[in-house]
Structure 1
Amino acid sequence: MIKCYWTLEVPPEYSSERQRIIPDGCIEMAFILGDDIKRFTSETDFILQPRSMVLGQTMEPFYIQPMGYVNTFAVRFYPYGFANFISTPIRNLVNKETPIAQLFGEVTANELEQRIINATDIQQRIGIIETFFLNKLNEKSTIDNIVQSTMDTLFSTGGSATIHSILKEDLSKRRQLERKFLKQIGISPKQLGKVIRLQTALKLLLHKKDETLTRIAYQSEYYDQNHFIKDFKEFTGTTPKEFLTDAQMALSSLFYTED
């Protein structure tokens, strides 16, 4: 979920010019350890960025200007990563800085900020951040968020996304996610993905009856036609061609043709 860490330190004599920041598709948590930094809201108006904040997705460039000594430590998240740790809708963070106290509470945020400030080097700061987020992963609300985000990804990709691709390098959470899925959903993430992908294929099959099975298989993200037919028979008990003409499938077909 964390893509990288970065730090920037610039003496005051080199840091007074306005800088343009462009969107990069990532969300960042930043700690300003030096002097304040302005972010311009117009050509002349500005706000002071919070000393500890989360920078949400940006849809347009913006300008900042350091007011002296620059010393910043930041955590860059993959686009899907940060949403798992907060209950606030991720869209509420877009195009602005949000103080971390608003996301994690005053006490937690103040403690984290002080530990980052008092750390002696970047390695110690990385250790503090990793401990913080590893502890968050054990909280019920965080686990629930991961279940929800996994479901959202499966539905948005028609069931083709793998758990490996969703969790990226956080595969240590796989067993935890699967246990939570079984408790909340009743089936594993892999099984839900297979069901969603079959639904995608069924809709194509019923709406595009002249389409070849190979074409439908690839459009539904199956490896090949054989893979499609194997999964189809597992869930329907029949082949795709037989499904279209089987009177016993009329009711099931209705649910997929009434979109």
Structure 2
Amino acid sequence: MHYRLYTPDSSLSSFIKCYWSLEGEELPGTQQRIFPDGCIELVFHYGNLFQKYYPDGTSNFQPRSFIHGQLTRFIEIGGNGRVGMFSVRFQPHGLRPFTNINTHELNDSNIQIADIWGAAGRELENRMLEASDNEQRVQIIEQFLLRQLQPTAVNALVNRGVDMINQVNGAVNIEELSAQLNIGRRHFERQFVAAVGLNPKQYARISRFQYVLSLTEQKRYNTLTDLAYSGGFYDQAHFIKDFREFSGLSPKQYFAEHLPLVKFFSFD
């Protein structure tokens, strides 16, 4: 499977984290678990459609193109033969300036782009699916998004709040953060939810969870206890709770392949 990242133009980098593509072959029925990462995605399938699997054993095919809202828990998806996928990964607060849709209503679900942008969305889908390569797709999507951009919808205060949460990898007190931003907590939370789709505490927890995952990739821990405290968790109970909620697995289950000594620790 070939995964590639593309850098957005500077005129859009405040709203878009990256573009990415995935191409290759995947056996039907193969399932991949996707974790919350604090970002909303605009996805185009120019290969075979992916399936989304549900806890009750059912599944359905994803649309050809759609926006998937913030994840508050893991999902499981899988390819069906030829994989061809192009996606726009928005900054946590990046979607709102391009649409009037309530981002909170998209959480853990998707919406077809024609339901957001109407005829312009249908035309975008056709052009993206018919493009000769992903470099052309980058050009097409950037031209489209620049036409849709509503600069007055940018919330600088929320953007700053997101940056401050990211700087400390989610280890933040929301009351103190609101005070630093010189805004009441409830007012800040309302603005944050409108722009990001999550409340500040939810976003901070996901940011901390993602930081823990990054530590595992860097092998910057010796035991699961070290990992929990390095990730900003003050006790193992919260570490386990967040991990189960976002990944569907206990830390012991997930890190078994990363930490050979895991069998000596009890986290359940």
Question: TM-score category by the smaller chain?
Answer: 0.5 to 0.7
Q: Which has the higher contact order (CA 8 A, sep 6+)?
A: 2
Secondary structure in structure 1 of the residue aligned to 2:81: coil
- Paired residue type of 1:10: G
Tell me the C-alpha RMSD between the 2 structures.
Answer: 2.6
Task: Report the CA distance between 1:144 and its aligned residue.
Answer: 3.5
- Residue aligning to 1:85: 98
Q: Would you say the 8 A contact 2:49–2:61 is kept in 1?
A: yes
Q: Would you say the 8 A contact 2:65–2:112 is kept in 1?
A: yes
Task: Describe the shift of the 1:16–1:45 C-alpha distance in structure 2 as closer, same or farther (beyond 3 A).
Answer: closer
- Cα distance in 2 for partners of 1:4, 1:59 equals 21
- Residue aligning to 2:34: 21
- Residue aligning to 2:153: 145
Q: Would you say the 8 A contact 1:2–1:75 is kept in 2?
A: yes
Task: Describe the shift of the 1:9–1:152 C-alpha distance in structure 2 as closer, same or farther (beyond 3 A).
Answer: closer
Task: Report the CA distance between 1:80 and its aligned residue.
Answer: 0.7
Matches within 5 A, 1:120-199: 120-137=132-149, 142-146=150-154, 149-150=155-156
- Cα distance in 2 for partners of 1:24, 1:65 equals 19
- Paired residue type of 1:100: I
- Paired residue type of 2:33: R
- Paired residue type of 2:113: I
- Paired residue type of 2:135: Q
Q: Flag the structure with higher helix content.
A: 1
Q: Would you say the 8 A contact 2:70–2:108 is kept in 1?
A: yes
Structure 1 residues 110-119 or 40-49, which shifts more?
A: 40-49
Secondary structure in structure 2 of the residue aligned to 1:35: coil
- Residue aligning to 2:125: 113
Q: Would you say the 8 A contact 2:19–2:87 is kept in 1?
A: yes
Structure whose CA Rg is larger: 1
Q: Would you say the 8 A contact 1:28–1:55 is kept in 2?
A: yes
- Give the TM-score normalised by the residue count of structure 2: 0.53
Residue 6 (1) aligns with residue 20 (2): yes
Task: Describe the shift of the 1:80–1:44 C-alpha distance in structure 2 as closer, same or farther (beyond 3 A).
Answer: same
Aligned residues: 156
- Give the TM-score normalised by the residue count of structure 1: 0.54
Task: Describe the shift of the 1:19–1:153 C-alpha distance in structure 2 as closer, same or farther (beyond 3 A).
Answer: closer
Q: Would you say the 8 A contact 1:6–1:74 is kept in 2?
A: yes
- Residue aligning to 2:86: 73
Secondary structure in structure 2 of the residue aligned to 1:69: strand
Identity over the aligned pairs, expressed in percent?
34
Residue 95 (1) aligns with residue 103 (2): no
- For structure 2, the residue ranges without an aligned partner over 5 or more in a row are 1-14, 165-179, 185-268
Task: Describe the shift of the 1:44–1:151 C-alpha distance in structure 2 as closer, same or farther (beyond 3 A).
Answer: same
Task: Report the CA distance between 1:61 and its aligned residue.
Answer: 0.5
